[in-house]
Amino acid sequence: MNKRSMLAMILAVLIGLVCALGMCVQRNAIENESTTVEQAMDYDAIVVMARNDGYDLDTALQMCRDAGVTSFTIYDTTLNKLTQRGELSLVTKLGADLYYPQFGITDKSYDYYLIGKPQNQKDLYFDEVVSDLKARLGDDKVKIMSHGPYRIAGIQGVMPGLGDVNLGILSADAKTISDHGFHVILRPTNYSNPTKEQIAHFFDRVDQIKNVSGIMFVGKEVLGYTPVDAERKTMLDYTADNLNERDIPFYMIESVNQLQYNQQDGMYDLAGLVHYRTARVYAMAKEELEKITPEEAAMRFYISDLERNARVNLYPLYKKPLHGMNLTQTNLSYVKLVSQKLTDRGYTLGRASIMPSYYPNRLLLAITAAAAACGFVFVLNLLIPLSDRKNYILMALGIVCAVIGAIVAKGALFLQVWAIGCATVAPTAAILLALDHWKKMKI
């Protein structure tokens, strides 16, 4: 009763298959040209870990290079970090009076005093830290009061919050990374109420850093995002213009469910403003890493690069060493395993490939979608046989919906709905046809 319409549906599906294969070839060509994966680790974490294991900086960085690490992430510094490293000193008002009278501090209106290296020594941090403090806290809360041979700045604030205020990315640390031949991935935190002057201050610092490969924001907002609706677009436009001017791509961290990205306010708007010069980052949670072996961790990173086109691997660190290895060796062992798997597969390690924006040909997409609609009607007939007339009507309606959706619809929702439909009806059709075949056989 429906032989002709069923043959028409099969023919339509075959035509759609040819068009789909054509789009697959296009997509495959783009992916084959974008096979450079960036291997990244946290610079501060590596330095601290290596020191605890008895390695100097040069040795630790060479070990990272041998393992396949190509880049280091660098975050905003804090006063706590700098004082713990011994780069600067922070003394209270009382401490300055009792223990450091030689500083000659006469202005006692500040809560803390930042002490840098003597004037006759090179100080890589003092000026940048003072500049960042003014940008974060305001000019009225920070004042340079260097006296004689000493570098001194007064700060108004309250501990412990003051010690944890995100300041800025220090160019001296970034220079150490780039001088050793690695790329630098910037990880800034947004300002509380960002202004163009603050954003410009950040990018002025960026201009002093070499080998910047990308930017990856920390926190719940991208740089420049503001809760003020009227100012938001202007600020994001300003951030995007600075990124585009410096050719810095936007690295977006994949979410746990692997379908989207870790949500940050303004991220999708910014991605569009930088013309989708973005890369997918795979970053496993530290808690998850502790539950699995280095071999399994390496496989997860490798599969993410292979199947989901992650082009930046951001490696967390194990907290406990494996038997027979120290902590540095333990962490670099699984990074090296990923590097070997990637290079064996034909990937290269370096600055992440930025895939060009790819949109399938609308005509091919419309034909493929229309063929899929005919496939849906075909499966319906395997369950409930209909007359040719009814089938032609359903096919016509399906083709109209498919063509309109492929040409008019924006975003991925239409493609996702049609893909779910194909993923459902294709195996259903295969099983039903197999059952019909075996029913006719004499067993």
| Residue 420 structure tokens | 């779910």
Closest-CA residue to 148 (of 190, 106, 108): 106
pLDDT at 181: 95
Length of the chain equals 443
Q: Could you read off the pLDDT of 179-229 as tens digits, one per residue?
A: 999 999 999 999 988 999 999 999 999 999 999 999 999 999 999 999 999
Place of tokens 């100080």: 123
CATH 3.40.50.2020 at 35-76+168-349, yes or no: no
CA distances from 311 to 31, 72, 282, 305, 308 (A): 11, 15, 8, 6, 9
pLDDT at 49: 94
Closest-CA residue to 332 (of 35, 37, 53, 77): 53
Residue 333's pLDDT band, with cuts at 50, 70 and 90, is very high
Phi, psi (deg, nearest 5) at residue 184: -115, 125
pLDDT at 323: 80
Tell me what the pLDDT averaged over the chain comes to: 92
Beta bridge partners of 112: 92, 155
| Residue 68 structure tokens | 């396949």
State the average pLDDT over residues 78-93. 89
HSE-CB at 19 with a 13 A cutoff on CA atoms is: 19
Residue 401's pLDDT band, with cuts at 50, 70 and 90, is very high
Report the share of the chain in percent with pLDDT over 70.
100
pLDDT at 148: 80
Phi, psi (deg, nearest 5) at residue 228: -80, 110
Residue 419's pLDDT band, with cuts at 50, 70 and 90, is very high
Q: Could you read off the pLDDT of 231-259 as tens digits, one per residue?
A: 999 999 999 999 999 999 999 999 888 77
Distance CA(255)–CA(338), nearest Å, equals 20
| Residue 2 structure tokens | 């429906």
- Rounded to the nearest angstrom, the gap between the alpha carbon of residue 7 and the centroid of all alpha carbons in its chain is 48
CA triplet 426, 429, 434: central angle to 5 degrees?
A: 130
Closest-CA residue to 135 (of 165, 159, 174, 113): 165
Please check whether residue 301 is in contact with residue 339, taking contact to mean a CB–CB distance below 8 angstroms. no
Q: Could you read off the pLDDT of 8-45 as tens digits, one per residue?
A: 999 999 999 999 999 999 989 988 899 999 999 999 99
Please check whether residue 368 is in contact with residue 19, taking contact to mean a CB–CB distance below 8 angstroms. yes
Please check whether residue 143 is in contact with residue 109, taking contact to mean a CB–CB distance below 8 angstroms. no
Sign of the Cα torsion 348, 350, 352, 355 reads: negative
Q: Encode 209-235: b = buried (16+ Cβ within 10 Å), e = exposed.
A: bebbbbbbbbeebbbbbbeeeeebeeb
| Residue 112 structure tokens | 């803390």
Q: Could you read off the pLDDT of 35-84 as tens digits, one per residue?
A: 999 999 999 999 999 999 999 999 999 999 999 999 999 999 999 989 98
Please check whether residue 366 is in contact with residue 418, taking contact to mean a CB–CB distance below 8 angstroms. no
Place of tokens 């791509």: 249
Please check whether residue 306 is in contact with residue 346, taking contact to mean a CB–CB distance below 8 angstroms. no
**Edge-to-edge strands, sheet with 89-92:** 89-92, 112-115, 152-155, 142-144
pLDDT at 257: 81
Helix (H) or strand (E) holding 358, with range, is: none
* Domain span(s) for CATH 3.20.20.370 in the chain: 35-76+168-349
Residue 397's pLDDT band, with cuts at 50, 70 and 90, is very high
Report whether pLDDT(147) > 80.
Answer: no
Q: Encode 401-411: b = buried (16+ Cβ within 10 Å), e = exposed.
A: ebbebbeeeee
* φ/ψ bin of 226: left (φ > 0), alpha (ψ from -120 to 50), beta (otherwise): beta
DSSP 302-333: HHHHHHS---EEE----SSPPTTS-HHHHHHH
Helix (H) or strand (E) holding 348, with range, is: strand 348-349
